[in-house]
């Protein structure tokens, strides 16, 4: 909760904050995706001294069944702070604060996930704060949404979380621990740069309406920067996969056997993702079957797919166009993704005739790229 | 939870059609709240303070208990406020008994935030021996009848209860230990914060919805205001989203409504004080 604002946290001469940042500057932020092998998707965010891990499972079967929603997937988020993540040891029991944060984060994510594509299932998001440095709910939201993209969960857009606050009557971006405690206000915001939507908003402290307006504007600017970091993190993962695969492609025949085995473990494992790329190239029918089995849990959704296929084709061509424009900047990286995509439509058509459940997976992959590029 | 309460498509269409014409069920304006009734000091002999607030058909009782306890290590000279809320089946067939669910926790924490951040209670006055003994104020709310807009009603109920709160006087004995006396003194509130929740239904915004309206809403946003018109708390809830350019108009609408809520609250408190 906010303090009374009596502590000097901004240097009057230089306008710099206690950690040397300007009022509109984010802390150094880095995101890594696919850091956990067993989760379907994962992300680790470093934001200042925050270190937060997010893991995503699903869409998967929901227990107990009576909680299932007949028309869409349930999105369950568990935000937990490690006992050693804060100055005073935190009790390991989930606090009311953690439960509230879990609720607001799952509400926010619920607004972008295409939950109607997966009725009766659950999408579980586990967030573990390893080290807290203020603004953990925002960093958690950022990490969770990146992990969802990594898991290939179809989404309308990506949410980026950032807090703005009031320190010595100045609106500042991305509060760190001391500013959070001693400042006079804090507004955590979840914002999607592509959709121009606010999906999370809380506030404590004392703001005039004008300061509130200013703070929201600043948060949106910050969220846009974080969105770029999220995109970069997701791109990097696929560039790595591509690079790894390029080295292996000569031994295609030999690799195929191993590939099948790994794919059957988990699709979203980083290794497995390598193999997905491999699948596009080798188009092994055997592999397709294996993957179909993986998705037998979500077979029920097959009716919805026919429609979304068409939309996807459009999306893919849009993305391809966009990619060409950007080629100058990131030539190598983009080429990787383009070739990833151009492989897809063919595979889609096959999938429709083959087995409709296969298309669930295709959509997942598309949305992932969609998220990357949008 | 009230998630099980389903509004039929026909009713949903009806509500939306009415809204398109600028009307609501019950004939209210979009930014008009239901009549409010206060019963102050309802639990007169046992609780330190209490109140029942009836907002339309929504009814909430709040009680305040004060106990001596130790302060938090980082704020040794401040008293402590804790809030809780219970959504028991007494209020609705859609509630279940058991430990508080996410909705109850959110309700309590949003109410708490408005009280705490507005600094309406001077916590240093609740300190008896710094670092050792402070008053801990428990503000506990029980929803008695749920018909929408619990957050605004809960804040009104807890503020009304606080306005009637009397805390025992304390004397320190020779060993420096506190002794609670029979005599009580009124808890002073610097001002009365209120929360106003705006619900977004399609392209419409309404305040103080009945349950049916609340259930078809896309999302809600709650603003807490102090008497100076500052925003002291906010909470967005529900799975819908807000456009950035909507926020300020919503905040301004809510600020207007907050004046009406506060006027009703102050009127009730004044009448109560006259009666005593």
Return the percentage of chain B with pLDDT > 70, whole number.
Answer: 99
Q: Tokens standing for B39?
A: 């019963």
CATH at A119: 3.30.230.70
Return the percentage of chain B with pLDDT > 90, whole number.
Answer: 92
* Phi, then psi, of A249 in degrees rounded to 5: -60, -25
Judged by a CB distance cut-off of 8 A, whether residue A196 touches chain B is yes
pLDDT in tens, B215-248: 999 999 999 999 999 999 999 999 999 999 999 9
Size of interface A-B (CB pairs under 8 A): 101
B105, B109, B221 ranked by CB distance to A201: nearest: B221
- Give contacts of B223 with chain A, Cβ < 8 Å: 203
pLDDT at A324: 52
Q: Label residue A12 by pLDDT band (50, 70, 90).
A: confident
Query: How far is B59 from B36, CA to CA, in rounded Å?
Result: 10
Judged by a CB distance cut-off of 8 A, whether residue B218 touches chain A is no
* A212/B255 CB distance under 8 A: no
Q: Are A246 and A352 contained in the same domain?
A: no
- In this model, does residue A274 exceed pLDDT 80? no
A138 lies in some domain? yes
- What residues contact residue A321 under an 8 Å CB cut-off, 6+ apart? none
- C-alpha A218, offset from chain centre: 22
- By C-alpha distance, the chain B residue nearest A95 is B105
A289 lies in some domain? no
Give the domain-ending residue among A250, A281, A316. Answer: A250
Judged by a CB distance cut-off of 8 A, whether residue A8 touches chain B is no
- Give contacts of A216 with chain B, Cβ < 8 Å: 244, 247
Judged by a CB distance cut-off of 8 A, whether residue A197 touches chain B is yes
- C-alpha A160, offset from chain centre: 9
- Local structure of residue A330 (DSSP, 8 states): T
pLDDT at A161: 97
Q: Label residue A241 by pLDDT band (50, 70, 90).
A: confident
A18 lies in some domain? no
A169 lies in some domain? yes
Q: Considering only A182-191, A205-214, A263-272, B142-151, which range has the smallest mean pLDDT?
A: A263-272
Kind and range of the H or E run holding A221: helix A209-248
Determine the average pLDDT of the residues in A108-121: 96
A232 lies in some domain? yes
- Give contacts of B83 with chain A, Cβ < 8 Å: none
pLDDT in tens, A124-180: 999 999 999 999 999 999 999 999 999 999 999 999 999 999 999 999 999 999 999
Query: How far is A349 from A372, CA to CA, in rounded Å?
Result: 23
Determine the average pLDDT of the residues in B165-172: 94
A237 lies in some domain? yes
Q: Tokens standing for A319?
A: 């993305």
Q: Are A224 and A87 contained in the same domain?
A: yes
- In this model, does residue A363 exceed pLDDT 90? no
B230, B235, B241 ranked by CB distance to A199: nearest: B241
pLDDT in tens, A45-83: 999 999 999 999 989 999 899 999 999 999 999 999 999
Å between B142 CA and nearest CA of chain A: 17
pLDDT at A368: 44
In whole numbers, what is the pLDDT of chain A averaged over residues? Answer: 77
Burial A62-78 (b: 16+ CB within 10 A, else e): beeeeebbeebbbbbbb
- Give contacts of A202 with chain B, Cβ < 8 Å: 234-236
Judged by a CB distance cut-off of 8 A, whether residue B266 touches chain A is no
Q: Are A351 and A211 contained in the same domain?
A: no
Q: Are A163 and A39 contained in the same domain?
A: yes
Å between B26 CA and nearest CA of chain A: 30
Q: Are A62 and A190 contained in the same domain?
A: yes
pLDDT at A339: 46
- Give contacts of A195 with chain B, Cβ < 8 Å: 241
Say if CB A29 and CB A163 are below 8 A apart. no
pLDDT at A3: 57
Domain extent, residue A40, equals 29-250
Q: Label residue A86 by pLDDT band (50, 70, 90).
A: very high
* Phi, then psi, of A238 in degrees rounded to 5: -75, -25
Q: Are A228 and A358 contained in the same domain?
A: no
Q: Label residue A371 by pLDDT band (50, 70, 90).
A: very low
Q: Are A243 and A353 contained in the same domain?
A: no
Query: How far is B177 from B171, CA to CA, in rounded Å?
Result: 8
In whole numbers, what is the pLDDT of chain B averaged over residues? Answer: 94
* B242/A201 CB distance under 8 A: yes
Q: Could you tell me if residue A156 is left (phi over 0), alpha (psi between -120 and 50 degrees) or otherwise beta?
A: alpha
Q: Could you tell me if residue B60 is left (phi over 0), alpha (psi between -120 and 50 degrees) or otherwise beta?
A: beta
A103, A191, A204 ranked by CB distance to B117: nearest: A204
Instruction: Scan residues 108-147 of A and list those with Cβ closer than 8 Å to B.
Output: 110-111
A211 lies in some domain? yes
ipTM score for this prediction: 0.86
* B232/A100 CB distance under 8 A: no
- By C-alpha distance, the chain A residue nearest B228 is A208
- Give contacts of B231 with chain A, Cβ < 8 Å: 203, 206-209, 212
Q: Tokens standing for A131?
A: 């080290």
Determine the average pLDDT of the residues in A222-250: 88
pLDDT in tens, B188-220: 999 999 999 999 999 999 999 999 999 999 999
B119, B234, B241 ranked by CB distance to A111: nearest: B241
Query: How far is A145 from A371, CA to CA, in rounded Å?
Result: 10
* B247/A200 CB distance under 8 A: no
- Asked if omega into A64 is within 30° of 0 (cis), the reply is yes
Å between B225 CA and nearest CA of chain A: 9
* A103/B106 CB distance under 8 A: yes
Give the domain-ending residue among A196, A228, A250. Answer: A250
pLDDT in tens, B64-92: 999 999 999 889 999 999 999 999 999 99
pLDDT in tens, A298-342: 444 444 444 444 454 455 455 555 555 554 455 454 444 444 444
- Give contacts of A4 with chain B, Cβ < 8 Å: 119
- Give contacts of A104 with chain B, Cβ < 8 Å: 235-237
Mutation for testing the B interface, residue in A77, A182, A201 having most B CBs under 10 Å: A201
Verdict on whether the full-model pTM lies above 0.90? no
pLDDT at A10: 87
Give the domain-ending residue among A250, A278, A295. Answer: A250
- Give contacts of A102 with chain B, Cβ < 8 Å: 102
Determine the average pLDDT of the residues in B169-182: 90
pLDDT at A15: 86
Please name which of A56, A131, A51 lies closest in space to residue A90, comparing C-alpha atoms.
Answer: A131
How many structural domains are present in chain A?
2
Query: How far is A108 from A101, CA to CA, in rounded Å?
Result: 11
CB atoms within 10 A of CB A369: 22
Q: Are A240 and A366 contained in the same domain?
A: no
A226 lies in some domain? yes
* B232/A1 CB distance under 8 A: no
Å between A29 CA and nearest CA of chain B: 24
Say if CB A360 and CB A302 are below 8 A apart. yes
């Amino acid at each position: 909760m906010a303090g009374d604002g009596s502590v000097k946290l901004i240097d009057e001469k230089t306008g710099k904050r206690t950690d040397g940042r300007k009022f509109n500057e984010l802390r150094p932020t880095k995101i890594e995706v696919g850091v956990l092998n067993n989760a379907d998707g994962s992300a680790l965010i470093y934001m200042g001294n925050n270190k937060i891990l997010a893991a995503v499972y699903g869409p998967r079967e929901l227990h107990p069944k009576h909680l299932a929603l007949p028309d869409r997937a349930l999105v369950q988020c568990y935000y937990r702070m490690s006992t050693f993540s804060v100055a005073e040891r935190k009790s390991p029991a989930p606090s009311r604060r953690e439960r509230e944060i879990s609720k607001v984060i799952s509400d926010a994510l619920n607004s972008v996930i295409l939950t109607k594509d997966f009725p009766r299932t659950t999408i579980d998001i586990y967030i573990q704060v390893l080290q807290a440095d203020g603004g953990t709910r925002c960093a958690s939201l950022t990490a969770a949404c990146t992990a969802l993209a990594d898991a290939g969960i179809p989404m309308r857009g990506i949410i980026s979380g950032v807090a703005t606050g009031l320190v010595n009557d100045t609106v500042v971006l991305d509060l760190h621990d001391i500013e959070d405690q001693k400042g006079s206000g804090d507004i955590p915001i979840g914002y999607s740069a592509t959709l121009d939507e606010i999906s999370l908003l809380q506030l404590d402290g004392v703001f005039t309406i004008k300061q509130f307006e200013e703070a929201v504007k600043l948060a949106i600017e910050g969220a846009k920067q974080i969105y770029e970091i999220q995109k970069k993190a997701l791109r990097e993962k696929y560039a790595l996969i591509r690079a790894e695969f390029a080295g292996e492609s000569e031994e295609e025949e030999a690799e195929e056997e191993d590939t099948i085995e790994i794919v059957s473990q988990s699709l979203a494992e980083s290794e497995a993702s390598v193999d997905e790329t491999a699948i596009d190239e080798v188009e092994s029918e055997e592999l397709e079957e294996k993957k179909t089995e993986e998705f037998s849990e979500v077979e029920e959704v097959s009716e919805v797919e026919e429609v979304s296929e068409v939309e996807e084709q459009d999306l893919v061509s849009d993305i391809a166009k966009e990619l060409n424009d950007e080629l100058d900047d990131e030539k190598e990286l983009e080429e990787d993704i383009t070739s990833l995509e151009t492989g897809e439509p063919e595979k889609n058509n096959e999938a429709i005739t083959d087995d409709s459940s296969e298309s669930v997976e295709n959509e997942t992959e598309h949305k992932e790229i969609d998220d990357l590029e949008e | 939870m009230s998630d099980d309460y389903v509004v039929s498509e026909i009713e949903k269409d009806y509500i939306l059609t009415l809204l398109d014409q600028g009307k609501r069920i019950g004939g209210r304006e979009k930014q008009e709240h239901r009549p409010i009734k206060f019963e102050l000091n309802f639990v007169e002999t046992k609780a330190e303070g209490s109140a029942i607030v009836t907002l339309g058909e929504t009814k909430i009782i709040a009680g305040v208990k004060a106990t001596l306890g130790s302060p938090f290590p980082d704020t040794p000279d401040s008293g402590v406020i804790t809030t809780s809320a219970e959504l028991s089946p007494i209020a609705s067939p859609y509630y279940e008994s058991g430990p508080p669910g996410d909705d109850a926790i959110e309700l309590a924490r949003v109410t708490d935030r408005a009280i705490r951040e507005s600094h309406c209670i001077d916590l240093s006055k609740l300190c008896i021996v710094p670092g050792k003994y402070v008053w801990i104020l428990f503000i506990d709310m029980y929803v008695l009848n749920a018909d929408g807009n619990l957050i605004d009603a809960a804040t009104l109920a807890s503020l009304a209860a606080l306005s009637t709160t009397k805390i025992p006087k304390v004397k320190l004995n020779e060993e420096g230990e506190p002794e609670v006396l029979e005599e009580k003194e009124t808890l002073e509130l610097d001002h009365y914060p209120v929360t106003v929740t705006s619900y977004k239904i399609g392209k419409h915004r309404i305040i103080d919805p009945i349950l049916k309206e609340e259930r078809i809403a896309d999302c809600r946003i709650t603003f807490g205001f102090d008497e100076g018109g500052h925003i002291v708390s906010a909470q967005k809830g529900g799975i819908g989203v807000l456009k950035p350019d909507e926020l300020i108009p919503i905040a301004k609408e809510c600020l207007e409504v907050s004046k009406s809520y506060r006027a009703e609250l102050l009127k009730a408190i004044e009448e109560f004080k006259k009666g005593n």
